[in-house]
Structure 1
Amino acid sequence: MSNRPSSVRWWVLGVTTWASFLLYLDRMCVNFAAKSITVEFQATQYEGWFVGAFFWSYALFQVPSGMLSDRFGIRRMLVIYILAWSVFTAVLGLAQSFLLLIVFRLLCGLAQSGAYPSAARAVRDWMPFTLRGTACSIVALGGRIGGAAAPLLTAPLMVAFALWGTGPEFRPEEILDADLLRNRLRQQGFPQVPDGDARHLADFLNRTDLASVLTRDWPPERQRELPFEVQRTLRQVPTTGTVSPAERARWNRQLWEQWLPRAFSKLEARGWRPVMIVYGAAGILVAAAFWVVFRETPALHPWTNAAERELIGSAPAGAAPRSREPFPWKVVLSDAGLWGNCLSQFGTNVGWVFLATTLPRYLEDVHHVPVLQRGVLASIPAFAALPALMLGGPWTDWFTRRWGRRWGRRLPIVSSRFLAVAAYGLCILVLSGLAGPLAGTFAITLALVGACLVSVATDLGVPATWAYAQDVGGRHTAAILGWGNMWGNLGAAAAPPLYSWVLGRNPEIREWMLVFAVCAGGFLAAALGAMWMDASRPVDDDEVQPAA
């Protein structure tokens, strides 16, 4: 009989990571489509509140959902959480009022609030102490891949569904302001602009070949005054060979949208509803896989052998895996280290959530990037951070073995947050004009470098934050992680409305620079808060920690 440990712990880690992937995919897909959604409901001024609604319920229910997982078990509760948030994601595609959208996002946040506290407890119960940081990296990696995949998948899916059974031609309901559009066209010298309603204007836009007008009728000096992105598209429009009417219509639509971006809604806005339904349906598969693979402890799993149970150091099969003791509120509320963790997570999310919620709008409004390219570019920071997330776990484990829990968990967070402050400084320099035209390739590249550095810095510290909660939480790990996550997501909830307030309805470069300054300030506060974190002081006085 072999004494080699079975590998069930890795299967458990795998399905937990898959759930983390879906968590972020369903969360971030809505953020990418937020502008299209709010334009459809004529609520663009409330975009920040729509995006932030998720984070309010997600934050406020972190501790209750973590306590439910500690009380009723991870297997039962996480499956309920996955199915619930999947349903509320799918019904977004059926909503017929902006109020219902807000309600569904609040409910989705409530359902997702239990996911990471449950995952933290699963990692604590299934992984040896020496691998906790690494395991946290892997679970968080799944979430980051889901977040990175969200714009990359959502953009082409929205376009595909938008063109499913129809063409790219303008529809009357896509004209946002008929009078404004009519006046702009006449000011630019377009002949025979109709006096009728939006239907007549839509027919005029579809009949007018804008590429021909701009290249044939406008003199070169006037063409050079066109926005950079329009000039770039004009160079890409096919002028020779056979071009199908559908392809010509797509080029025409893209040029109109780039030249007069606030006059009508974008083509891809038609496709957001079926995308939500597809993502919601995927949750059934993830929930089923988790139910089949997971058990509360290794001792209760029929697939584990004695060697694996000994390696993990699990409780005996008859031990209750659930925490029935009251939550130690008095200790939590009086512990400076836990409050430092709360400040660190709050500040981190104030700065990081820009990448998750507002980066696509920044690329569109400032750098004028089209939707498909925008989906790719918006995903790059998250993909860039994947190696950092994998490095962060072994990094904090190595620091802990060398310098103990206090500095082993503290240093990765503090240093990474200062790196993020510097990265937002680079973003401000890009907007100062030093990188040339904002729609130029060099400026876009530098802006993405800054965003990637922010993402890398954030994820370098994530495993240390999780490991800190596991070190001090003991049998209350899920609730303790939920307590810190609550404050972090209060920062994430407050940030989008704050961004919207700073930007206003029609932001200029100065307002975008102020937003970057706010994000840098959030990371500075996070670094200062992390200095108070002490992983050597558990919440439970009777909790015995393994040697570092």
Structure 2
Amino acid sequence: MASVEPTSSYVRYRVIFVCMLMAVLLYLDRFCISFAEVFIKDELGLSDEQIGILLGSFFVSYALCQVPSGWFSDRFGARKMLTIYILMWSLFTAMTGLATGFIMLLIFRLGFGLSQAGAYPTSANIVSKWMPLTERGFASSMVTVGGRIGGALAPVLTAFLIILYVPMTESSDLKSGDIMNPHGLATTFLERVDEKQEFETKIYGGLTSESRNYLNAEALAAKADAAAEAATRAKIAAKDAATIAANASGENKVLAETQAKNAANAAESAVTEATAAADAAVEAKSLVASFTKAESSFLENLNPILQEQQLYDPADFEGLTLNQQAEQLLNVSPGELNVEQRSRLNRLLFEARYSAHVRKVQGKGWRKMMMTYGLVGILIAGIFWWVIRDYPRAHPACSEQELALIEHGRLESDKDHSKQIGGIPFKAIVKNQSLWLLSLSQFCTNVGWLFLVTWLPRFLDEEYQVPLEERGKMVTIALAVGWFGTLSGGKVTDWLMKRISLRWSRVLPIALSRFTAMAAYLVCLLDISPWTSVIMFSIVAFSTDFGSPAMWAFNQDIAGKHVGSVLGWGNMWGNLGAAVAPSLMIAVITVNTASGEEHHWDMAFVTCAIAFFIAGVASLFVDSSRKLVVDDEDGMLETA
């Protein structure tokens, strides 16, 4: 390919940098909720299923609005539309911090997805107009790496802001509603008192008789609930046994009738036990004056104990993971701790002992964190409007030499910006086989990749009990490795284009990277350490991002003036995969047991590996040499 003289201006790099900055914000705002979801869940009383719906709802509106928002940018200009998109999603981010329940969160997440849908299609439009053909891979990788930087920063920056907005001077007292499972807390607490564990024994010694009665009543209520559930199961078993006996014959009938009789006796015994347990719970509650106010009285009794006493005993916390702030406070001599520090330390210790039953004190910072991200978005929108123009000839600082370099090798029709495009070229898009194959690859890629930004923090917490701050660092490291995948993938894509065919310069980076990600997930099935798993997740992030510049370049290669619509089409399918992924993961990893829900993470790794395998196979048959064919009735050009 012929070259042109060096340019006397480099406006195109400023344009790409601002697009990259926009992408940083895009992913910061998108994935901060994944790290804060444990606090949102606790405060608003949401279930895992509702969290899955919230995480997936964003991708539904995001996916369905990809093509329309990309077309808006093709038609009305990237500068205007992307500025509007940034302002809109920043508004929805800030409003998320004001949500009071599931429905409000769902509405805000749907609006957030709609607003962010145009970000990457519009950025691809800008890259196609501002960058020479030989620099498209690298420019696309810079925008994509901005997103990965945002995604990598989201866990650690979100954790930092959440903690920052709950300073030590803020009260660490337990308030009404902070005990999310009184039955479970009371049962475990009294069991540990009986076992003479130091932490609970010290607290119990400072409780009033009314507080002790409250704990006993809650524990008895828990036993009553468990007995009632056991009775229900026994009745069902007896009914099933009776049905089997009624349908049996001969020797089998005698055996079945015996089993049915035993089951009926067991059910009757279980009902008797349940009734006795319920009566005991009622009697215990009667010992607590005004039981509806008993929790408040208990907390009023408990909080001064947490403020004043030295409760830490290393033996009680062996095997438990402590919050980093708690570790820091434990390094201070007990005599040097002030009331606020002692209260925060004991609250964090209490949370560590009863992590499933007590709301996290640091979780109160998630609302201000959301509002902070929203305000930053307004600043980024202003910078974007100031730097960007829809095409190079509209920018006053772009020299003739730089214009010549940018336009070198383009079709004359691609240089002409005096006309506007017509409608969305749906007919041409659905007739292009390569677009369908790449869409399948993007769908499956997002199913596999989304685990890193949605469930990875939960996995590290449940499987390895990694503390909040270290958890944030681990997720950040895994995602940060993706930066290098994006940058190297862009360079390799441009390098391959100069040495092999256009088609294979796009296919090889996509296909090989998907098979590598598949292999990394399969390694996670082995018994490995937390940091070894982080290495595997880092390989997944690197491989996924390595193929992204080639995907962008493919869309720019075939789309002509319809880059926003075409890239939006592929992104739509990719993000439908992302919309499905959270609920799919819950379905494959969640197992209901007698003690509650358990998560089988191996099933998540198998699912992700299969998804990447399909993505790799589909991408092998993509051909970027077959251009989008737009006829006069489908996306025709109209005079502006």
Runs (5+) with no aligned partner, structure 2? 194-199, 215-293, 632-640
Q: Is the 8 A contact 2:414 2:561 kept in 1?
A: no
Counterpart residue type for residue 244 of structure 1 = N
Pick the structure with greater CA Rg: 2
Instruction: Check if 1:288 corresponds to 2:382.
Output: yes
Counterpart residue type for residue 580 of structure 2 = A
Q: Tell me, in whole angstroms, the C-alpha distance in 2 between the residues paired with 1:202 and 1:321.
A: 71
Q: Is the 8 A contact 1:323 1:476 kept in 2?
A: no
Q: Is the 8 A contact 1:90 1:281 kept in 2?
A: yes
Counterpart residue type for residue 84 of structure 2 = I
The Cα of 1:447 is off from its aligned counterpart by 1.6
Identity percentage over the alignment? Answer: 39
Q: Is the 8 A contact 1:180 1:263 kept in 2?
A: yes
SS at match of 1:403: coil
Which residue of 2 is the match for residue 412 of structure 1? Answer: 509
The Cα of 1:234 is off from its aligned counterpart by 7.9
Which residue of 2 is the match for residue 63 of structure 1? Answer: 67
Q: Is the 8 A contact 2:486 2:548 kept in 1?
A: yes
Q: Among residues 356, 370, 381, which one is paired with 2:453 in the alignment?
A: 356
The Cα of 1:205 is off from its aligned counterpart by 4.8
Q: Tell me, in whole angstroms, the C-alpha distance in 1 between the residues paired with 2:459 and 2:322.
A: 18
Instruction: Check if 1:259 corresponds to 2:353.
Output: yes
1:451-474 CA distance string (max 9 Å, x none) = 111111111111111111111111
Which residue of 2 is the match for residue 227 of structure 1? Answer: 319
Instruction: Check if 1:16 corresponds to 2:19.
Output: yes
| 1:71-86 alignment runs, 5 A limit | 71-86=75-90
- What is the alpha-carbon root mean square deviation over aligned residues? 2.6
The Cα of 1:130 is off from its aligned counterpart by 0.1
Which residue of 2 is the match for residue 440 of structure 1? Answer: none
Which residue of 1 is the match for residue 370 of structure 2? Answer: 276
The Cα of 1:492 is off from its aligned counterpart by 0.5
Q: Tell me, in whole angstroms, the C-alpha distance in 2 between the residues paired with 1:235 and 1:133.
A: 46
Q: Among residues 586, 610, 630, which one is paired with 1:500 in the alignment?
A: 586
SS at match of 1:94: coil
The Cα of 1:116 is off from its aligned counterpart by 0.3
Deviates more, 1:4-13 or 1:404-413: 4-13
SS at match of 1:229: coil
Runs (5+) with no aligned partner, structure 1? 436-442, 543-548
Instruction: Check if 1:182 corresponds to 2:186.
Output: yes
The Cα of 1:243 is off from its aligned counterpart by 2.6
SS at match of 2:561: helix
Instruction: Check if 1:215 corresponds to 2:313.
Output: yes
Q: Tell me, in whole angstroms, the C-alpha distance in 2 between the residues paired with 1:238 and 1:502.
A: 42
1:323-371 CA distance string (max 9 Å, x none) = 4234332332132211110111001100111111111111222222222
Q: Tell me, in whole angstroms, the C-alpha distance in 2 between the residues paired with 1:90 and 1:387.
A: 31
SS at match of 2:428: helix
Q: Among residues 311, 326, 349, which one is paired with 2:405 in the alignment?
A: 311
TM-score (norm 1): 0.90
Q: Is the 8 A contact 2:511 2:615 kept in 1?
A: yes
Which residue of 2 is the match for residue 546 of structure 1? Answer: none
The Cα of 1:320 is off from its aligned counterpart by 2.7
Change (3 A) 1:159 1:349: same
Change (3 A) 1:303 1:167: same
Which residue of 2 is the match for residue 115 of structure 1? Answer: 119
The Cα of 1:57 is off from its aligned counterpart by 0.3
1:477-520 CA distance string (max 9 Å, x none) = 111000000000001011011122233375545x1111121111
Instruction: Check if 1:6 corresponds to 2:9.
Output: yes
Q: Among residues 368, 372, 376, which one is paired with 2:465 in the alignment?
A: 368
Q: Is the 8 A contact 1:230 1:259 kept in 2?
A: no
Q: Tell me, in whole angstroms, the C-alpha distance in 1 between the residues paired with 2:415 and 2:405.
A: 18
Q: Tell me, in whole angstroms, the C-alpha distance in 1 between the residues paired with 2:601 and 2:415.
A: 58
Change (3 A) 1:4 1:484: closer
Q: Is the 8 A contact 1:7 1:304 kept in 2?
A: yes
Which residue of 2 is the match for residue 463 of structure 1? Answer: 549
Q: Tell me, in whole angstroms, the C-alpha distance in 1 between the residues paired with 2:116 and 2:158.
A: 20
The Cα of 1:321 is off from its aligned counterpart by 6.1
TM-score (norm 2): 0.77
